Amino acid sequence: MVDPAKTSASITLDATLHTVHGKFLLRRGDLRFDPVNGKVSGEIVFDATSGKTANDGRDHKMHKDVLESAKFPDISFRPDRVEGKVSDSGTSTVQVHGQFGIHGTEHELTVSVEVHLERDHWKASTHFEVPYVKWGMKNPSNLFLQVGDSVKVEFVGEGALRAPSFPRVPDPQPNVTPDK
């Protein structure tokens, strides 16, 4: 289960004379992981229309001309496998492969993810770049403003573990001899 209050996607876009920072809100998320075979499934979906950069004019242009968020309201990641070992407690760094959906198309993506597990809780974080122009979106540069062709994304998430996500070894039962 993904906790919306503790899950976010932040963006950083390099531009002339400044750097643009923004944030997107989680729409929904649910992940399932099998530590035996490294399979992971589910989906994390962010609301493309929720993107904010603290500048209303820039946000309007981002939604209308770049993301076309009215037409493509979801930004998603559907993982399908984990490469590396996830410890059943503590911190692990693994590679997570899946499909990243944005602007109406999906793109294969593998990201390095730091995962921290506690008894009934998980935390994960990763950062990666989205080559939005290469993926068919418009670069909003103009005569006076130049921006990069890719945006840096930082994902931070938390949630509850549900059985049987990580099998637990039962506590050993003491040897009890029946009374005669």
Domains plus CATH for the chain? 4-160 (2.40.128.110)
The answer to whether 145 and 15 are in contact (CB under 8 A) is yes
| Predicted confidence (pLDDT) at residue 178 exceeds the cutoff of 90 | no
CA distances from 70 to 40, 60, 84, 150 (A): 30, 11, 38, 21
For the whole model, what pTM was predicted? 0.85
| Predicted confidence (pLDDT) at residue 165 exceeds the cutoff of 70 | no
Residue 64 CB partners (closer than 8 Å, separation 6+): 70
- pLDDT score for 171: 47
More confident call, 166 vs 1: 1
58-80: b (≥16 Cβ within 10 Å) or e: beebbbeebbbbeebebbbbbbe
- pLDDT score for 20: 95
Give tens-digit pLDDT for 31-88.
988 877 878 899 999 999 999 999 999 999 999 999 999 999 999 999 999 999 998 8
Q: Give kind and range of the element (H or E) at residue 113.
A: strand 105-117
Coil vs helix vs strand at 58? helix
